[in-house]
Amino acid sequence: MDQAARRKVLTRLKRIAGQVEGIQRMVEADRYCVDVLNQIAAVEAALDRVGHLLLASHVETCVASAIESGKPRERKKKLDELMDVFSRFGRVRP
């Protein structure tokens, strides 16, 4: 992952950590459940966006490098790994 992408991901993760701490304080303060649930949904959406950033970075760097390497075994490994990530990352939560 390049430095710019790493900074962007870390910034977002720090913001998410702050949101989670805020949710904890809301629960401790016995805030209205729907308000807490709304904040949880916001954190989930933020994590999804971070996941998309990481996935894009992975495709642009690791997967692209494997494809350009001309090594069939490495290319297959990275593509299989990518398909596995797509299958797990693309699942819809209940």
**pLDDT one-digit tens code per residue, 39-68:** 999 999 999 999 999 999 988 998 888 888
What pTM did the predictor assign? 0.80
Report the C-alpha gap between 1 and 14 in whole angstroms.
18
3-89: CATH architecture: Up-down Bundle (1.20)
Average pLDDT rounded to a whole number, residues 14-41: 99
Residue 91 banded pLDDT, cuts 50, 70, 90: low
**What ranges do the domains of the chain cover?**
3-89
- At residue 13's C-alpha, the angle toward residues 48 and 33, to 5°, is 70
